[in-house]
Amino acid sequence: MTTTAVLPAGAPGPVTDRTVIGENLSLPLFRTLSGVLAGHPYLKVVVDRIENTWHLLDTAVHPFHVNYIATRVLGMELAELDSCLDAFNASVYMDPERRFLLGVLSLHTDEDAEGRDRPFLVLETTEADTMNGRLLEEFYTFVRHRVDGRLPLLLKPANHGQEHELAAISDVRVPRILGHQLFGNRTRTPLNPGEAVGRLRYFRTLEEYTAEADGLGWSDIVAMPCLPDDVPRVAGFLNTSPGTPLSHTNVLASGWGIPNAIVRDLERMVDADVLDGAWVRYRVEDDEITIVPLAHAPTLDAPAWHQQRIRMEPPLLEDVPALWLHRLRRADGDRYGTKAANLGELHHVLDSRSADLTAFYGQPRPPRADLYGHLAARLGAKDTTPEELRSLAADFVAGVIAAPDGVALPFALQHRFLTSSPAVQQGLGKLKMALELDAVDVLDALCLHLQQLIRNTPLPEDVSRQITQALPGGPATGRRLVVRSSSNAEDLPGFSAAGVYESITTVHGADELLDAVRQVWASLLSPRSVRLRHQAGISLDDTYMGVIIQEYVPADLGGVLVTCNPTRREDFRNVYLNCSPGSPETVVDGTTLPLQYLYNTVEGGGRTVALGSSGQDLPVATRDKLARLALTGRLLQSHFSDTDLDHPLDIEWLMTDQGDFRLVQIRPYAL
């Protein structure tokens, strides 16, 4: 069936609607009707169980299944659909006796036994669809009988619930493929969208990169298997090995607004097109990654960040005591640093339960006035008042996570230490002079000398005493401590400093504690941190380091979540979560490839994106716990992102050997 679409007044003209009803699907017909999503051709399909037929939608005309069914099949007006959208969605995505089965067919290729490309189709539902096993098998069978038999067809479960349902069904009757199997080895994966014109610098090994790192500049696009955390500020990043959007380097790319992607066939492209050292236009989009050589070296203006000036509140250096984290609030960041202040605020949220953690769900999402009903469903409630919903949300969060105990050392201690040493003061004076003169050629040597002085200069007795007495009874021998950085020059709009400052996780006894504190202080003056702050216009005089001292907590699982989908910024439903056995640091520093998940915090459900280095998925019970953690992160966003409720959070967490969650860091996610 071919029709002419009716367009609103003022539209450029009628559009031919090539939607087909009841016909079998061949590969040519698929290509006629399909669009492109994430680099793959796709086609929306609707099975009408009552009429025993199906609709193959013209993607260019019908981007939404629900709109098509309502207006073209049921004869509704769009305004009528909008007025009952959630109820209508429930009838097509959640009702076990539903009339319609909705899905997407996507086209992929693999290699046959002779190494030739072989096309195959993948059928899946939307991510929030709750089809049971019976409906999934019916859906697959219906489509299989109407698709060209020469095309292999696989069913991809859209969420963990569908995976569980399919486990009881023979994969002979319903051949299937999991998401991480389909996409885990794809050649190109966007990490951070953006566009850059620059000179491509391709390094096959870390040794090659290290030998050339000092010569990298703002117009370079750095490509290598896995970029190191200390990569300088450049025009773009390219990885040739698998990674995660939540790595330190991608957080930097996001904060700097530069493109970043995984391009596993880059070496072939470099060798074929002689791209190493060539000028290219590099673009990363949701569904496409392009690297186009330029015929001539372009004339480029210096990037905007050369004139960037980050605004920050001046530190308060009055003599205040070391305090337990639960005694801090966010306003204390100018005395104890951002990390310590945010953890103190987290204690307040959990202890007082007075914060409104539902505000994100109160945002209008047209045509919905709000998402409060969805939140109530996620919390297992209905017909609640706003006050009851806020109470349920606060109880839910307090039942899922705990804030870490620990002590925060103020900026005043670092200030007293720095001013106690004439040698350190002299070194700081030289560094400030070099920064004022923009003498970048001597910065590294001055910074390294200062760091060595700080690590080796004895602490004044009163400073040493205040540190060792910060914990009750002092740091007892054999008790393992973690010493974390907490600067005022991080987590700022336009300057995240992810991975720039040091934290020490293996500290025992008083001597090691004092050494670790000095090491954290010294990280404020590393060549990289000084250069990055100087580029952002952050004065050395205004930059101080607080310290968090905590007892080490053994972890069975650790990771990072961000309350957004980093590769699709318009997605307000999903939370992206990465984890690996043990410490969260292994996720962000790239030492292991983490398991990666997306959890829908509106309609519910989750799905596995990648298995990482482990090669196997987590148990169902653990994934269910992670879904609760993801929802907790979304609820905390309502409080910690109160100036912009859609601004996501970046949360580091661990799961103890007792199976409970602790948050070890909470901050804005760099966009």
3-state secondary structure 44-82: EEEEECCCCEEEECCCCCCCCHHHHHHHHHCCCCHHHHH
- 188: its two tokens: 């190109």
Same domain for 284 and 271? Answer: yes
Residue 444: inside a domain: yes
The whole-number pLDDT of residue 28 equals 95
What tens digit of pLDDT does each residue of 323-364 get?
Answer: 999 999 999 999 999 999 999 999 999 999 999 999 999 999
The whole-number pLDDT of residue 441 equals 87
What is the band of 288 on the pLDDT scale with cuts at 50, 70, 90?
Answer: confident
- pLDDT of 14 over the 50 cut: yes
User: What number is the average pLDDT over the span 15-37?
Assistant: 92
Amino acid at 78: L
C-alpha span between 247 and 209 (Å, rounded): 19
Q: Among 551, 575, 600, which residue terminates a domain?
A: 551
Class of residue 547 by CB neighbours under 10 A (exposed 0-12, middle 13-18, buried 19+): buried
Same domain for 163 and 203? Answer: no
Residue 307: inside a domain: no
| Domain containing residue 578: CATH number | 3.30.470.20
C-alpha span between 599 and 253 (Å, rounded): 23
The total domain count for the chain is 4
The whole-number pLDDT of residue 392 equals 97
- % of residues, the chain, pLDDT over 70: 94
The SS3 call for residue 309 is coil
Taking CA 632 as the corner, what is the angle to CA 88 and CA 336, rounded to the nearest 5 degrees? 145
CA distances from 437 to 37, 104, 430 (A): 50, 60, 11
Residue 48 phi/psi, 5-degree rounding, is -100, 105
The whole-number pLDDT of residue 589 equals 60
Same domain for 454 and 530? Answer: yes
Residue 159: inside a domain: yes
What is the band of 184 on the pLDDT scale with cuts at 50, 70, 90?
Answer: low
The 8-class DSSP code of residue 186 comes to -
Higher-scoring residue by pLDDT: 132, 657: 132
Residue 340: inside a domain: no
Same domain for 266 and 296? Answer: yes
Q: Among 267, 301, 335, which residue terminates a domain?
A: 301
Same domain for 161 and 291? Answer: no
The SS3 call for residue 520 is helix
C-alpha span between 395 and 545 (Å, rounded): 34
What tens digit of pLDDT does each residue of 261-287 get?
Answer: 999 889 888 888 788 999 999 999 877
The whole-number pLDDT of residue 5 equals 45
Residue 264: inside a domain: yes
What is the band of 6 on the pLDDT scale with cuts at 50, 70, 90?
Answer: very low
What is the band of 256 on the pLDDT scale with cuts at 50, 70, 90?
Answer: confident
The whole-number pLDDT of residue 221 equals 96
CA distances from 655 to 501, 583, 660, 661 (A): 24, 9, 5, 5
Residue 325: inside a domain: no
- pLDDT of 52 over the 90 cut: yes
What tens digit of pLDDT does each residue of 513-571 get?
Answer: 999 999 999 999 999 999 989 988 899 999 999 999 998 888 999 999 999 998 888 89
Q: Which secondary-structure segment (H or E) carries 37?
A: strand 35-37
The whole-number pLDDT of residue 423 equals 97
For β-strands 188-192 and 194-202, DSSP reports them as: unpaired
- % of residues, the chain, pLDDT over 90: 71
Residue 128: inside a domain: yes
Residue 321: inside a domain: no
C-alpha span between 125 and 91 (Å, rounded): 14
Give the chain's length. 671
Same domain for 136 and 37? Answer: yes
User: 294-323 b/e with 16+ CB inside 10 Å = b?
Assistant: eeeeeeeeebebeeeebebeebbbeeeebb
Same domain for 121 and 133? Answer: yes
* Mean pLDDT computed over every residue of the chain: 91
The whole-number pLDDT of residue 585 equals 66
Domain span holding position 441: 407-551
Same domain for 546 and 567? Answer: no
Q: Among 124, 149, 177, which residue terminates a domain?
A: 177
For residues 599, 601, 604, 606, the Cα torsion angle rounded to the nearest 10 degrees is 0
Most confident of 400-409, 476-485, 637-646: 400-409
Nearest to 424, CA basis, from 432, 4, 281: 432
Taking CA 127 as the corner, what is the angle to CA 124 and CA 129, rounded to the nearest 5 degrees? 80
Same domain for 152 and 116? Answer: yes
Same domain for 514 and 437? Answer: yes
| Domain containing residue 220: CATH number | 3.50.30.10
Same domain for 24 and 134? Answer: yes
What tens digit of pLDDT does each residue of 94-124 get?
Answer: 999 999 999 999 999 887 777 778 899 999 9
| Domain containing residue 488: CATH number | 3.30.1490.20
Same domain for 26 and 133? Answer: yes
